[in-house]
């Protein structure tokens, strides 16, 4: 079976690196030490050397298969003194190839250390960071050398939909990525001074792992795909697809907060997805947010929903901006009523939870 996720990630880095090398070679005769790279304080040479270290580091983290979860592996790449720009471009192509090879070889659920913002990333995260590094720093060097450079929009979109989940899409992906990283203005938006990209949140939950769904994965799920997950029979169920569509809409309208989005429940023993769980949106002014979930029929009756709900509720209620969690369950859905009860939710009287009392309301307070 072809691992389409690995293929897509590797090809994105490969395409970004090929385009970058083509442009940079047109300026290889220039003195890269004497020219500042765009708006950066680094020279073009220092910027290129930074890019080699970033790509080498990402490849090493993935190759380590999660052995380094507290910090980067204690090694780096050093370019020999006196290496000319043409040689430096060759080094960039080499470390780009190392990253693409690591992406092709890394299983989808493997995570390794990266500090922003939850201290880990999966292969799609590292691919998106690699693409962003290549596009942005090629832009910086090209701007310093006076070279024209505009990468394909789909590469900028690849990065935006995976590591910039709170950035509302603009008229075109490349100008949006430049704006989001403080490199250019965008009509109708305030300039960006400080920024960080954001890998997805992952939470342990007993026999499960709750993996935050990126806008890219949400778009695939909403369109009938698997979102990059290996699902058990009958999954993803309709509620998960509906939640993915809600996540995608929130992203497209600029109100998405990824930590209050959709999570996929992945079973640790075989790394198969069994269901979805998440929030209907960020907490309101009173600190209340609604939570929902579903499981594939073949995964029900095993206590997975209870374990996941306890873990997600504990994480949410430990935050200062969340004071209570709210859930509604169909009156006829007795198993789901038992799930919320086992997770500590209590029945509450609410007037607007459905016609003729079809829904029961539950709350869990901090």
pLDDT tens, position by position, 282-317: 999 999 999 999 999 999 999 999 999 999 999 999
* Residue 339 backbone zone (phi > 0: left; psi -120 to 50: alpha; other: beta): alpha
10-23 per-residue burial string, b: 16 or more CB within 10 A, e: under 16: bebbbbbbebbbeb
* Same-domain check for residues 104 and 253: no
**What are the DSSP calls for 77-121, one per residue?**
--PPTT--HHHHHHHHHHHHHHHHHHHHHS-TT-EE---SSSS-E
Looking at the predicted structure, is the pLDDT value of residue 365 above 60? yes
Residues 364, 344: contact at Cβ < 8 Å?
yes
Number of domains composing the chain:
2
Q: Where does a domain end: 145, 180, 215? A: 180
> What whole-number distance in Å separates Cα of residue 131 and Cα of residue 13?
5
In this structure, is residue 187 part of a structural domain?
A: no
Structure token digits, residue 364: 């869990």
Q: Provide the pLDDT for residue 355.
A: 54
DSSP conformational letter for 294: E
Looking at the predicted structure, is the pLDDT value of residue 1 above 60? no
Looking at the predicted structure, is the pLDDT value of residue 352 above 60? no
* Same-domain check for residues 127 and 219: no
Structure token digits, residue 147: 């070279």
In this structure, is residue 189 part of a structural domain?
A: no
> What whole-number distance in Å separates Cα of residue 137 and Cα of residue 131?
10
Residues 6+ apart with CB under 8 A from 105: 6, 62, 63
pLDDT digits (tens, 9 = 90+) for 101-115: 999 999 999 999 999
* Same-domain check for residues 174 and 220: no
* Same-domain check for residues 137 and 234: no
In this structure, is residue 191 part of a structural domain?
A: no
Looking at the predicted structure, is the pLDDT value of residue 335 above 80? yes
Assign residue 110 the CATH number of its domain.
1.20.120.450
* Same-domain check for residues 170 and 303: no
**Which has the closest alpha carbon to 310: 213, 203, 153, 234?**
203
Global pTM value:
0.96
Residue span of the structural domain in which 84 resides: 4-180
**Which has the closest alpha carbon to 64: 27, 17, 111?**
111
* Same-domain check for residues 58 and 90: yes
Q: Provide the pLDDT for residue 66.
A: 78
Assign residue 269 the CATH number of its domain.
3.40.630.30
> What whole-number distance in Å separates Cα of residue 20 and Cα of residue 135?
7
Q: Is the dihedral of CA 104, 105, 110, 116 positive or negative?
A: negative
* Same-domain check for residues 213 and 92: no
Looking at the predicted structure, is the pLDDT value of residue 68 above 60? yes
Residue 202, CA distances (Å) to 33, 50, 112, 209, 210 in order? 42, 28, 12, 7, 6
* Residue 92, CB-side half-sphere exposure with 13 Å CA sphere: 33
Looking at the predicted structure, is the pLDDT value of residue 354 above 60? no
* Same-domain check for residues 153 and 207: no
In this structure, is residue 196 part of a structural domain?
A: no
* Same-domain check for residues 31 and 106: yes
Q: Where does a domain end: 150, 180, 210? A: 180
Residues 68, 61: contact at Cβ < 8 Å?
yes
Q: Integer distance in angstroms from the first to the last C-alpha of the chain?
A: 46
Which residue would you say has higher pLDDT here, 68 or 71?
71
Least confident piece of the model among 59-68, 171-180, 182-191? 59-68
* Same-domain check for residues 118 and 254: no
> What whole-number distance in Å separates Cα of residue 73 and Cα of residue 58?
10
Structure confidence at residue 356 as a pLDDT band (50, 70, 90): low
- Mean pLDDT, the chain, rounded, equals 96
In this structure, is residue 39 part of a structural domain?
A: yes
* Same-domain check for residues 164 and 207: no
- Percent with pLDDT over 90 in the chain: 93
Residue reference for tokens 């699902």: 231
In this structure, is residue 361 part of a structural domain?
A: yes
* Residue 64, CB-side half-sphere exposure with 13 Å CA sphere: 21
> What whole-number distance in Å separates Cα of residue 218 and Cα of residue 222?
6
> What whole-number distance in Å separates Cα of residue 136 and Cα of residue 194?
15
pLDDT digits (tens, 9 = 90+) for 196-227: 999 999 999 999 999 999 999 999 999 999 99
In this structure, is residue 195 part of a structural domain?
A: no
In this structure, is residue 192 part of a structural domain?
A: no
Averaged pLDDT, 337-361: 84
Residues 6+ apart with CB under 8 A from 18: none
User: How many whole angstroms from its chain centre is CA 349?
Assistant: 38
Residues 168, 221: contact at Cβ < 8 Å?
no
* Same-domain check for residues 139 and 48: yes
pLDDT digits (tens, 9 = 90+) for 102-148: 999 999 999 999 999 999 999 999 999 999 999 999 999 999 999 99
């Amino acid at each position: 079976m072809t691992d389409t996720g690995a293929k897509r990630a590797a090809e994105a880095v490969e395409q970004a690196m090929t385009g970058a090398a083509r442009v940079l070679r047109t300026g290889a005769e220039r003195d890269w030490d004497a020219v500042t790279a765009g708006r950066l304080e680094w020279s073009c040479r220092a910027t290129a050397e930074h890019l080699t270290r970033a790509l080498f580091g990402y490849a090493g983290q993935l190759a380590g298969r999660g052995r380094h979860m507290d910090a980067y592996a204690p090694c780096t790449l050093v370019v020999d003194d006196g290496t000319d720009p043409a040689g430096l471009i060759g080094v960039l192509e080499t470390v780009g190839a190392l990253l693409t090879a690591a992406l092709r070889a890394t299983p989808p659920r493997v995570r390794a250390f990266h500090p922003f913002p939850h201290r880990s990333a999966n292969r799609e995260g590292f691919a998106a960071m690699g693409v962003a590094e290549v596009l942005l720093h090629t832009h910086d060097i090209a701007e310093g050398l006076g070279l024209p450079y505009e990468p394909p929009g789909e590469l900028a979109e690849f990065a935006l939909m995976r590591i910039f989940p709170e950035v509302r899409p603009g008229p075109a992906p490349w100008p949006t990525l430049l704006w989001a990283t403080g490199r250019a203005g965008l009509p109708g938006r305030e300039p960006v001074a400080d920024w960080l990209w954001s890998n997805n949140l992952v939470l342990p939950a007993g026999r499960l792992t709750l993996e935050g769904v990126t806008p890219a994965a949400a778009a695939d799920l909403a369109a009938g795909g698997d979102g990059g997950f290996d699902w058990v029979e009958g999954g993803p169920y309709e509620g998960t697809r509906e939640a993915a569509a809600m996540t995608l809409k929130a992203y497209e309208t600029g109100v998405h907060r990824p930590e209050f989005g959709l999570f996929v429940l992945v079973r640790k023993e075989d790394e198969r997805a069994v269901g979805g769980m998440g929030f209907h949106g960020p907490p309101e002014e009173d600190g209340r947010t609604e939570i929902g979930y579903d499981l594939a029929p073949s995964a029900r009756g095993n206590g997975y929903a209870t374990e996941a709900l306890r873990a997600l509720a504990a994480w949410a209620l430990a935050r200062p901006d969340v004071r209570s969690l709210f859930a509604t369950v169909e009156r006829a859905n007795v198993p789901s009523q038992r799930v919320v009860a086992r997770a500590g939710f209590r029945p509450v009287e609410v007037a607007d939870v459905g016609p003729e009392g079809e829904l029961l309301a539950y709350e869990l307070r901090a």
